Amino acid sequence: MKVAFGTDERTPITDRVKEIVLGMGHELEVTAEDVDWPDVGRSVGEAVAGGGADRGIVCCWTGTGVSIAANKVPGVRAALCTDAETADGARRWNDANVLALSLRLLAPSLADEIVSAFLVGTVDADEADVISKVD
């Protein structure tokens, strides 16, 4: 799977997120780093919506800004997740294709859990009709 990644600030946490993606055997494309959060959300969102990446991960201090910016791109369903169960549910019930993370709240062990849950999560086929209502 190809994962687009962007952050408005490079930190040890963002480096860890990239390591997790690569460690799971996925391809990583950094589309935005050390740029304003609207540019991060748009860049990753466009990579996912345009088919250049299967999923995306965006980061900023709260995670809210990049989530809002990514969701402005048609075809993107970005979810701000603070735990693995929410990340799994975002994939399962909402077919989220971009994961938004808060640099303020994220510890390395939590990053492992959230990113892993998001990348291995699959969509519940029974939710297809519900999900199609937001497209």
Q: Say if CB 108 and CB 13 are below 8 A apart.
A: yes
Say how far apart CA 77 and CA 62 lie, in whole Å. 18
Q: CA dist 92 to 19, 63, 69, Å?
A: 24, 21, 22
Catalytic residue check, 59:
no
Catalytic residue among 21, 47, 58, 60: 60
Q: What is the DSSP annotation of 7-28?
A: ESS--HHHHHHHHHHHHTT-EE
| Look-up of token digits 């998001």 | 118
Residue 109 gets the label, from left (phi > 0), alpha (psi -120 to 50) or beta, of alpha
- Would you please indicate which residues are annotated as catalytic (active-site) residues? 60
